[in-house]
Structure 1
């Protein structure tokens, strides 16, 4: 099996694009949960970083790691230089080697994973797959529920994916692959007959998230980009006569003809008569 740490350092177009959408809004925050869920698709934050120039330099370091596939150690060197240059003090982990190692690992891996999976969401949506397959990441200390979802194959529009498209917790290394046939699911190691647990929609009262999903992680990274495009389309055609609206939507659907997004646009066009 390929080393996942190496795989996730190989940048690809959709991953870089997903991260750079966030660079349009550098948001100062005091706590990690000042921004929640889909808000992260459109904003870059580092908890405790409240100055614009500091945030800009931290964002540049993360962008370098994602776009060039640089290692955690190189990111740590860039992080130390940024902290020293801006005189940033009071950040969680400061003053202890173990604390700094933990904080830089969290910043690096969280941004790498969420941008990677947002890029994968775009690829899978564009790929027009019949099935999306959930795979456990092979952690040495697996989360039991994540392990129970391993191999489950569901349609892309199944509600399971809206809250459980990985990562589903800090450090989660689960991932999703696509297949067009049941035989394709099996070739990839999935099981097209495997059912979801009977209580898969249960909510954890401690977090308010679905069971198996950490607080703040109950969303699909990158999915809000698709939702936003559909809302823009609906807003544009709302006051247009059908003879103008229909060609407009048909043209967009043609551009995404072999994708799930194309199907959604065709559904909108069909409703225009």
Structure 2
């Protein structure tokens, strides 16, 4: 194929390494201390507030991008660095090292590809780009929908949608020449609409508008930000424990045309069941892979909503809760997490813990327990915990609690459960 040298799999690491090595080290306390384009000029690892720790982590990332470390050997390097500095970090070591490896590799290679694809010679030969979704374990429906979109290389859509477009996103951009376009019998696409949806930073309370289908923090083109020097001001992390971000917030990507903006998400329970439950399942699994932000995990029946004193049936799951899930109920499988929407939608037993908190029990060949709480103003509901249990443990949990609906004794017996209730 004529554009083979420009494909990601054959890209030499020189541009990717150049992208990494021009960055300044920025010690941080939180993952969002740097915003979007600022990552094009600043190297950070969330929670790595020590310059010495950050320098060692950066050296390991540099070696990985240079091809000296595989993900397996990077894990060993990470463990040694953590032990050397006594770093207490969020998430299990294997999960955290994999995340650092995959995100930095993806961003560096994305910037390198963009630099190679936007040389005058490349743009003359290949004036069109195609969005390509590659097969993965947990495909994002929106990314699948974008696959096959062919636009001019200078289309503004690429400013926010040049992959990766989220944690562990495997999408790429393929270059296309005039001849290739003619021979394929295909035509240029119309740029997909950029539906801006509100996302609330639970730590700061700040509301940001993020294009639908893109994870918070990924709505920018790392290569373009690097090439054009559009990164935000970068400064040292504040010393105070409750200090704010380490910089002035990066400018938000240019807003799309007003007709393309939909300022508010369509509730998932307003779309067909097949897509609704699949989308929720995939959202929960992505949050398990990277517990940041919050997602809609499911909806509860109207009777449960009323018992919660809530204005909405939607139940959200936060990254903070997922971190606790990983720590306390690490044996829960993908199949278990795929049942979360079902557990919320069809509880067999409902009990009240307090005015705005309920326990839900659902049997699906195994008894599951979930705790749901409504916020004080009733505007949101959150899933506080989810795990396997047994009737014996459920009886203890329900002791002295008002049962609002269902009969525990009518449910089948279980044979296994989490040890930590």
Do the structures match in fold with TM over 0.5?
Answer: yes
Aligned to 2:180: 184
Match of 1:130 in 2: 127
SS at match of 2:42: coil
- Do 1:204 and 1:210's aligned partners in 2 also have CA atoms closer than 8 Å? yes
Could you say which residue in structure 2 is the equivalent of 1:64?
A: 63
Q: Deviation string for 1:206-227 (max 9, x for gaps)?
A: 3511111111110001212322
Give the corresponding residue for 2:99: 106
Q: Is the 8 A contact 1:134 1:176 kept in 2?
A: yes
Structure 1: tracts of 5 or more residues without a match: 1-6, 94-98, 230-273
Q: Secondary structure at the match of 2:129?
A: strand
Per the alignment, do residues 186 and 107 of structure 1 end up closer, same or farther by CA in structure 2, a change over 3 Å counting?
farther
Q: Map 1:162-201 onto structure 2 (within 5 A).
A: 162-181=159-178, 183-185=179-181, 191-197=186-192, 200-201=193-194
Aligned-partner SS, 1:28: coil
More helix by share: 1
Alignment: residue pair count = 211
> Which digits, 9 at most, give the CA deviation of each residue in 1:8-55, with x for residues without a partner?
697522111111122xx1101111111011111111101111111111
Other-structure match for 1:45: 44
Q: Aligned pair in 2 of structure 1 residues 180, 139: CA closer, same or farther (>3 Å)? A: same
- The equivalent residue for 2:223 is 222
Alpha-carbon spacing, 1:193–1:148, altered in 2? closer, same or farther (3 Å): same
Asked whether the 8 Å contact 1:37–1:216 carries over to 2, the reply is: yes
Q: Does structure 2 retain, via aligned residues, the 8 Å contact 1:152–1:191? A: no
* Mapped partners of 2:9, 2:20: distance in 1: 14
Match of 2:150 in 1: 153
What is the alpha-carbon root mean square deviation over aligned residues? Answer: 2.1
Q: Write out per-residue CA displacement over residues 100-150 of structure 1, whole angstroms, 9 at most, x where no aligned residue.
A: 111111100000000011101101111112101110021232111111111
Alignment map for 1:215-254 (pairs within 5 Å) = 215-228=216-229
Largest Rg, 1 or 2: 2
| Structure 1 residues 190 and 55: CA distance shift in structure 2, 3 A | farther
Distance 1:9 1:50, change over 3 A: farther
Secondary structure at the aligned position of 1:92 is classed as coil
CA contact (8 A) 2:22 2:41 kept: yes
- Secondary structure of 1:154's aligned partner: strand
Distance 2:45 2:15 in 1: 22
8 Å contact kept, 1:10–1:69: no
Q: Note if contact 1:136-1:174 (Cα within 8 Å) is conserved in structure 2.
A: yes
190 and 43 in structure 1: CA distance in 2 versus 1, 3 angstrom threshold: farther
User: Per the alignment, in what secondary structure is the counterpart of residue 210 of structure 2?
Assistant: coil
The one-character-per-residue Cα deviations of 1:51-108 (angstroms, maximum 9, x if unpaired) are: 111110110000000012521110011111111111222x012xxxxx1111111100
Q: 1:45 to 1:195 in 2, by over 3 A?
A: same
Task: Confirm or deny that 1:92 pairs with 2:93.
Answer: no
Q: Which has the higher contact order (CA 8 A, sep 6+)?
A: 1
What is the Cα deviation at residue 190 of structure 1?
9.8
User: For residues 141 and 150 of structure 2, what CA distance do their matches in structure 1 show?
Assistant: 18
Equivalent of 1:142 in 128, 139, 144:
139
- Aligned match of 2:113: 120
Normalized per residue, which structure has more strand?
Answer: 2
CA contact (8 A) 2:151 2:189 kept: no
| Structure 2 match to 1:246 | none
Q: Check whether the contact 1:134–1:151 (CA below 8 A) recurs between aligned residues.
A: yes
- Report the alpha carbon displacement of residue 184 of structure 1 after superposing the two structures with TM: 1.6
* Structure 2 length-normalised TM: 0.47
